[in-house]
Structure 1
Amino acid sequence: MNDIRVHRQTFYTRLAKRGRALPPTDMFSKVLLHAIVRRVLFATYTVAGVGLACRLTMVVLALTGLPQPWPSCTDRRLPPAAPQQLSAQQLPAQQPAPHPPRDEEPISQFLVVLAVSSPASEERRRVLRDTWFRSCSQDLDAKCYFVVGMGGLDEEDTRRLLEERDLHHDMLLLPDLVDTPANLTLKVLKAFVWADNKALAQYVMKCNDDSFVRLTQIMNEIKEGDTAPSAASIYWGFFDGHSPVEAVSKWWDTDWVLCDYYLPYAHGGGFVLGSRLLRYITRNQDDLLLYYKDDVAVGTWLAPLKNVRRVHDPRFDTESVSRGCHNSYLVTHQKSADEMVAMWQRLRWGSNQPCPEGQETRHRLSYNYDWTSPPSRCCRRRDPSVP
């Protein structure tokens, strides 16, 4: 304000020196003249201030650069947390489930073989890899996997299984499942769900790591044999319709209340399911009762379905006790490592007789399932000609 008054006085003084008359002395003229002078001086100072501010801004930008934009929502990440040391009890909760093999992307598989194994059965898995599992690597239509639960394992056992999976690419690991007999049915169910959703299997074969499977013959019969019609609904194995409920044994199932005998089911040493049945199990997994015996559970789950093609095949030696050795067997259960190696070597040498020296042995009779009779008369072991 003082500067304005000084400039105004200077303006009047210059006018007086030039001999010009001073502005009119009436009140209106003085007010108007003062207003004009103040507006001119204010505009002058404003323009000078803006120019100075612009020059200062350009200097700052030249020294520091343009400001960075605020990061988007996807870029506002917290810094990575430091790795934690987990106890054995915490490990299962930190693992994804299931833990699939890493060797390929999910593609449609014609046949997926699921061999149930346990964390400690590394030697059995080695024997299978050296024998009939080789058929999987030779046949692009089939993929073979060991199904193993990892829940509750210590850090060393977990690391060992992961290394085995990464080395052989044939293990389906279930990190959230404790591998015990009580969880066997849940284990098989999870494997079925994976085979349907991830492997997109047209057929799935469940067996154990002590089963010997002639996979090439299984594949040929699925594609061309008597089992080919209605293949999507096939349930193929060795059936039992007159198996009593074991009330006093490790297999005692307190959830079974349907009958004093189990419903017809294919023994768990090896059986084949078509894609329609596999998809039914997958879609209804949350509503299925997990009976203690996995093979009984599968037979019970599929019992009410229509158009299930149950194929009883005596060439499936898949009961809990082997019936012996027959050269026509497609699946043989309860075989030792030495027996598997001997059978595989005979097949590799071109023989079609896997039994030792080609000699067949029989421990007990077999049977053809009589689907026209009640279950109490379905499975009579009378005919010695049945393998």
Structure 2
Amino acid sequence: MRRLNNLVTVFTAITSFFFGSFITRIFSAVDKCPANNIGRSHLESNSNLFLMVLVLSPPHNAVQRNTMRATWLRNARQPLHQPYYPEELIFLPVYSSNGHLQVESVAQQANRLKQYMDWQKSMLTKDPPRTERKISVKHVFAIGTWNINSTVHAELQEEQKQHNDLLFLQRHHDSYGNLTEKLLQAFNSVKHHYEFSYVIKVDDDTYVKLDSLLNELVSYDRKILRNKSEYGHDPVPQLYWGYFNGRATIKGKGHWKESNYFLSKNYLPYALGGGYVLSRKLCEYIVNSSQLFTHYVSEDVSVGTWLAPLRHVYRWHDPRFDTAYKPRKCQPYHMVLHKRNIEMMTDIYDGKLCSGTGSSSLSEYYYDWTKSSEKCCDSLVV
């Protein structure tokens, strides 16, 4: 009986060995299949990044991605040559006695823009000392790769081989209706693979004057780090920087239709999706809480709604972000410019201020945080 038990044990062990080998070979074959490997990006960790540039791009937009690489993204690899933007011109919010983060008034916003324009002009009329500073910036193009065909797959693999800057989201089917899911997957990937201080999310038809944005963001970061102790027991403000809208009505039809937005008559204030900056802690909060959030159709509406209850969010409304669904009248102080085609991007990079944009019916406004949604955006920039 004991010999029979021993034979059974040996037979079971041999069977398990061969079965395990068989399964391993199957899984190995699956791993070698290109359709599965398309979703696996090789992301190199970097612990010293200051700014992560996250571009949401659909699979077929290789021409747009190449234009961005050939224009403003080239500046990510070059040192800043501008003098530091004066920290005394940087607004830092403080907490009121009841624990609320105080907002920037319309007068303060107008004064801030004037000061920036004066400083910008002064840089053209004199030759101040310029310190070369290497600010670490990394960009990635987030692309959904679920169910793409073999031709597109091959093109993306070739593009990745050449540039190594594609972030493949293997569980995401790229479409407008899935944009919020795409943003969450992209945030999750960059959060886990990179250490960065800030992230700017843009579309692949957005042009960023990266040197200007970085210069001011560095000054802001230096100032808030120096003043960190002044916040005492209150949390240090976390940055949410863009061009805010608080009067947008909830869309009831078309691509933007929202069937599950019941919080208010209008969307809660949100930074328009052509481009906005978040501090790392806000990015982490969004990723870590994503399973609890309602996911709305528009990713920019979603981000604004998710961050709305947090008392330590510094919502920096900035008219220099031209990030609506069509360009506003072109201004020399604009630093984030949405809805720019390939020709416009090339012209802006070559120094032409207003290539192809003409005038726009959209008014430029300061945000009045003390007013209701109907009147929040009536203080026009003149």
TM-score if structure 1 supplies the norm length?
Answer: 0.71
Determine which of 105, 115, 120 is the counterpart of 2:45.
Answer: 105
Task: Give the deviation of 1:110 after TM superposition.
Answer: 1.1
Q: Alpha carbons of 1:187 and 1:232: their partners in 2 closer, same or farther (altered >3 Å)?
A: farther
Corresponding position: 1:342 with 2:347: yes
CA contact (8 A) 2:55 2:201 kept: yes
Secondary structure of 1:151's partner? coil
Aligned to 1:168: 163
Aligned to 1:234: 239
Q: Alpha carbons of 1:368 and 1:228: their partners in 2 closer, same or farther (altered >3 Å)?
A: farther
Task: Give the deviation of 1:217 after TM superposition.
Answer: 1.1
Corresponding position: 1:81 with 2:25: yes
Determine which of 373, 376, 381 is the counterpart of 2:374.
Answer: 376
Counterpart CA distance in 1 for 2:34 and 2:249 is 40
Aligned to 1:49: none
Q: Show the 5 A alignment for 1:52-67.
A: none
Aligned to 1:143: 138
CA contact (8 A) 1:227 1:234 kept: no
Determine which of 329, 333, 347 is the counterpart of 1:324.
Answer: 329
Corresponding position: 1:182 with 2:177: yes
Aligned to 1:270: 275
Counterpart CA distance in 2 for 1:164 and 1:384 is 42
CA contact (8 A) 1:149 1:178 kept: yes
Q: Alpha carbons of 1:96 and 1:384: their partners in 2 closer, same or farther (altered >3 Å)?
A: closer
Corresponding position: 1:118 with 2:58: yes
User: Once superposed, what is the RMSD of the aligned Cα atoms?
Assistant: 3.1
Cα-to-partner distance string for 1:310-362 (whole Å, 9 max, x where unaligned) = 0000000001121131111010100111111000011xxxxxx73349x9855
Amino acid at match of 1:114: L
Counterpart CA distance in 2 for 1:180 and 1:202 is 29
Task: Give the deviation of 1:166 after TM superposition.
Answer: 2.2
Amino acid at match of 1:271: Y
CA contact (8 A) 1:232 1:275 kept: no
CA contact (8 A) 1:151 1:176 kept: yes
Task: Give the deviation of 1:256 after TM superposition.
Answer: 1.1
Task: Tell me: higher relative CO, structure 1 or 2? Use CA pairs within 8 A at least 6 residues apart.
Answer: 2
Select between 180-189 and 151-160 the one with higher mean Cα deviation. Answer: 151-160
Identity of aligned residues (%): 31
Corresponding position: 1:198 with 2:193: yes
Q: Alpha carbons of 1:180 and 1:360: their partners in 2 closer, same or farther (altered >3 Å)?
A: closer
CA contact (8 A) 1:101 1:165 kept: no
Aligned to 2:126: none
Cα-to-partner distance string for 1:63-120 (whole Å, 9 max, x where unaligned) = xxxxxxx9xx99x97266277589xxx976x3486x3345x33434211011111011
Amino acid at match of 2:300: D
Task: Give the deviation of 1:149 after TM superposition.
Answer: 0.4
Amino acid at match of 2:354: C
TM-score if structure 2 supplies the norm length?
Answer: 0.72
Q: Alpha carbons of 1:345 and 1:328: their partners in 2 closer, same or farther (altered >3 Å)?
A: same
Task: Give the deviation of 1:288 after TM superposition.
Answer: 1.7
Secondary structure of 2:196's partner? coil
CA contact (8 A) 2:241 2:315 kept: yes
Q: Alpha carbons of 1:118 and 1:356: their partners in 2 closer, same or farther (altered >3 Å)?
A: closer
Task: Give the deviation of 1:202 after TM superposition.
Answer: 1.1
Aligned to 2:353: 354
Amino acid at match of 1:173: F
Secondary structure of 2:291's partner? helix
Aligned to 1:156: 151
Cα-to-partner distance string for 1:136-163 (whole Å, 9 max, x where unaligned) = 2225511111111000101221122122
Select between 298-307 and 77-86 the one with higher mean Cα deviation. Answer: 77-86
Amino acid at match of 1:218: L
Determine which of 209, 213, 217 is the counterpart of 1:214.
Answer: 209
Cα-to-partner distance string for 1:32-78 (whole Å, 9 max, x where unaligned) = xxxxxxxxxxxxxxxxxxxxxxxxxxxxxxxxxxxxxx9xx99x972
Determine which of 106, 118, 127 is the counterpart of 2:67.
Answer: 127
Amino acid at match of 1:246: K
Cα-to-partner distance string for 1:255-298 (whole Å, 9 max, x where unaligned) = 21112210000000000001221111121122122100000000
Counterpart CA distance in 1 for 2:257 and 2:222 is 34
Larger radius of gyration: 1
Number of equivalences: 301
Q: Alpha carbons of 1:319 and 1:361: their partners in 2 closer, same or farther (altered >3 Å)?
A: same
Corresponding position: 1:244 with 2:249: yes
Counterpart CA distance in 2 for 1:279 and 1:226 is 18
Q: Alpha carbons of 1:305 and 1:208: their partners in 2 closer, same or farther (altered >3 Å)?
A: same
Q: Alpha carbons of 1:327 and 1:363: their partners in 2 closer, same or farther (altered >3 Å)?
A: farther
Gaps of 5+ in 1: 1-69, 347-352
Q: Show the 5 A alignment for 1:5-20.
A: none
Q: Alpha carbons of 1:109 and 1:119: their partners in 2 closer, same or farther (altered >3 Å)?
A: same
Aligned to 1:65: none
CA contact (8 A) 1:101 1:166 kept: no
